[in-house]
Amino acid sequence: MIPKVSRKRPTIRDVAAEAGVSYATVSRVLNGRDWVSPEAVRAVRDAISRTGYTANPHARSLATGKSGSIAFLLTEPQHLLFEDPNFSVLLRGVAQALSDRELTLILMIASTPVERSRAIAYLSGGHVDGVLLVSPHSGDPLLRQLVEAEVPIVACGQVLGFEDRISSVSADDWGGGRSAVEHLLAQGCRRIATITGPQDTFGGVFRLRGYTDALTAAGITVDPAYIVHGDWSRESGAAGMRALLDRVPEVDAVFAASDAMAAAALPVLREAGREVPGDVRVVGFDDSGLAATTEPPLTTVRHPLERISEEMVRLLTDVIAGRTPLSITVPTSLVVRGSSPA
């Protein structure tokens, strides 16, 4: 019997010899350090390809003190991860951005006290290098616990009350809400109602502020009867639309702060004998896949989640490296469809 010849696994020193650079240079390239010339980076990457070198994650973790893992922490009930299209788009974008950086994604849900307790214990135990925080609610004790644990964090949307301590990437919620209402005003609507998002979230607060500021700028008094509060869900959109028809049956337009709520408002209007857009115009927010499938298709504010996910990962790597927390705002745009045509 011919004995098997075991091929030695390539090491960093093999890569260094192949590339014609030092061991330290290869280590800096593998760990994403900034002080390496572009030529050296190319030489190391070519050498990695030729030698077939693959990093040993456990060894690298011991050497660098880094886990190579990032938590995607959703503070909403588990079912919303699958029901709300925004979360799945954001998760997909984050997964790709982390993969491009050879980082591992860990999905965590923390909507109940038990889940929050487990999440804090895990995240503060050094198992991850940072946290991508999704749908934070002001007043949630989890926020302070995360800050006190000194875990690098970047949130999707500014965290009310922690703006100077938690980095964030946000859509221009105020500008998007204002542009939605200005579009309705330009169509001749004057009795414009809104179904808001949760008022303990940055998006909920600032989309409502965009609504009120647009009306005020047009010389229209903001009437509380035209404002109902939702929680982003279809159920709250349907309930909010019924409440508005009871309160202000003369309503001629609705700005819903999410596509899910706007989509749920459409059948409620039909059941009430109100045609869209003939009697009531409807605008949503997100430009999710849902928006183009409704009848009629939704006019909506595009929420640039693909760019937001990439910016969140990029910013988190900066925070992990010790850079000062900061907030980034990504512009939105209006997508006009059949529920409120131009």
Q: Which of 103, 238, 248 is nearest to 190 (CA)?
A: 248
Residue 3: per-residue pLDDT: 43
Is residue 338 a contact partner of residue 292, using CB atoms and an 8 Å limit? no
- State the DSSP H helix or E strand holding residue 163, giving kind and residue range, or none if neither: none
Is residue 43 a contact partner of residue 20, using CB atoms and an 8 Å limit? yes
pLDDT in tens, the chain (342 residues): 444 444 567 877 888 899 998 878 887 777 665 577 888 888 888 888 888 877 655 445 444 456 689 999 998 877 777 777 788 889 999 999 999 888 899 999 888 889 888 988 888 888 899 999 998 888 888 888 888 888 899 999 988 888 888 899 999 999 999 999 999 999 999 999 999 999 999 999 999 999 999 999 999 999 999 999 999 999 999 999 999 999 999 999 999 999 999 999 999 999 999 999 999 999 999 998 899 999 999 999 999 999 999 999 999 998 888 887 789 999 999 999 999 998
Residue 58: per-residue pLDDT: 45
Q: How many Cα neighbours within 13 Å face the side chain of 272?
A: 21
**Alpha helix positions (H), the chain:** 12-19, 23-30, 38-51, 57-64, 78-83, 85-100, 113-123, 141-148, 173-186, 202-217, 234-247, 259-271, 305-320
- How far apart CA 273 and CA 276 sit, in angstroms, is 10
Residue 32: per-residue pLDDT: 62
Residue 216: per-residue pLDDT: 98
Is residue 251 a contact partner of residue 225, using CB atoms and an 8 Å limit? no
Is residue 134 a contact partner of residue 156, using CB atoms and an 8 Å limit? yes
Distant-in-sequence, close-in-space partners of 4: CB < 8 Å, separation ≥ 6:
none
- How far apart CA 49 and CA 310 sit, in angstroms, is 26
- How far apart CA 40 and CA 161 sit, in angstroms, is 44
Q: What's the pTM value of the predicted model, to 2 decimals?
A: 0.78
